[in-house]
């Protein structure tokens, strides 16, 4: 994998974790019950922690090779995790479209988390076991411990809601209709992730896990169909613009501010 492609891939992993983590953080103080409010907030913190590790590594690689700014603008000084998170524009983010989808109700948030945690679980496991870069493999190994919990937690909720009351099942079916068209992009390789990444195998494992959980939840597994794509190469929905307007406001309004 060429160095530029490797940096883009590292940013892609970071962006996925940051944007999904930010989405989950919007539930803080608004969860259906206190225990689950704390659970979803802790998951958001896990994801933001993963994003930090990936951004820190990407910044190190970029500084080492004197890479240009990802957004073509002067960022001043060396790259840092903060500059990569707060000073890139929408088109420079490489997260999958699924991560930026609105929270909706609890069912939609749960299903989005389940789909993405299943994907991250098999992706991080592959990175841990076979990626030649030791630092990226180490970050994946650390993150996998957290994602294992995320997957178990979201799976239990999918089953609880899908096989629960008439209302909870109705909401899960609505969430499935809204989110399913965004799952295909997870397995469509961008140019920067084709080398050494077996997305076909990850897709097979992901699909089997989803089918198993859906079977317990008495939810239908949708047929193959048209899917949204573009997030991995910077073509996003309007949702990401709203996220970044909130996420990046302080740094853009007060440049170089620090805690």
Q: How many Cα neighbours within 13 Å face the side chain of 238?
A: 0
Architecture of the domain defined by 3-219+233-253: Up-down Bundle (1.20)
Are the beta carbons of 145 and 128 closer than 8 angstroms? no
Chain segment 178-194, per-residue pLDDT in tens: 999 999 999 999 999 87
Spatial separation of the C-alpha atoms in residues 102 and 19, rounded to whole Å: 11
Are the beta carbons of 22 and 243 closer than 8 angstroms? yes
Q: What's the whole-number mean pLDDT along residues 238-244?
A: 95
Percent with pLDDT over 90 in the chain: 78
Quick one: residue 218, left, alpha or beta (phi over 0 = left, psi -120 to 50 = alpha)?
left
Spatial separation of the C-alpha atoms in residues 121 and 58, rounded to whole Å: 21
The pTM score is: 0.92
The CA distances from residue 51 to 9, 30, 45, in Å, are 13, 24, 10
Domain map of the chain by residue range?
Answer: 3-219+233-253
How many Å is the Cα radius of gyration of the chain? Answer: 18
pLDDT at 74 over 60: no
HEC string of 82-120? Answer: HHHHHCCCHHHCCCCHHHHCCCCCHHHHHHHHHHHHHHH
Confidence of residue 73 (pLDDT cuts 50, 70, 90): very low
What is the structure's pLDDT at 130? 81
């Amino acid at each position: 994998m060429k160095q530029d492609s490797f940096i883009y891939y590292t940013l892609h992993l970071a962006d996925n974790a940051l944007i999904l983590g930010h989405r989950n953080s919007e539930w803080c103080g608004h969860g259906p019950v206190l225990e689950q409010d704390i659970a979803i907030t802790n998951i958001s913190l896990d994801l933001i922690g993963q994003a930090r590790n990936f951004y820190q590594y990407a910044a190190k690689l970029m500084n080492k090779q004197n890479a240009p700014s990802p957004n073509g603008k002067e960022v001043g000084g060396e790259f840092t995790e903060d500059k990569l998170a707060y000073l890139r524009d929408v088109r420079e983010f490489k997260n999958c479209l699924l991560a930026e989808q609105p929270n909706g109700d609890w069912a939609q948030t749960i299903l989005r988390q389940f789909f993405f945690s299943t994907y991250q679980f098999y992706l991080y496991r592959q990175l841990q076991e076979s990626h030649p870069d030791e630092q990226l493999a180490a970050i994946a190994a650390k993150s996998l411990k957290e994602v294992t919990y995320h997957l178990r937690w979201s799976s239990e909720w999918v089953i609880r809601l899908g096989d629960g009351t008439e209302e909870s099942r109705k909401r899960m079916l609505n969430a499935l209709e809204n989110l399913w068209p965004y799952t295909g992009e997870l397995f469509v390789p961008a140019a920067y992730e084709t080398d050494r990444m077996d997305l076909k195998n990850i897709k097979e494992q992901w699909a089997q896990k989803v089918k198993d959980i859906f079977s317990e939840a008495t939810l239908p597994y949708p047929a193959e169909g048209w899917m949204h794509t573009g997030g991995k190469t910077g073509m996003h929905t309007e949702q990401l613009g709203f996220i970044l307007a909130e996420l990046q406001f302080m740094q853009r309004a007060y440049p170089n501010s620090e805690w």
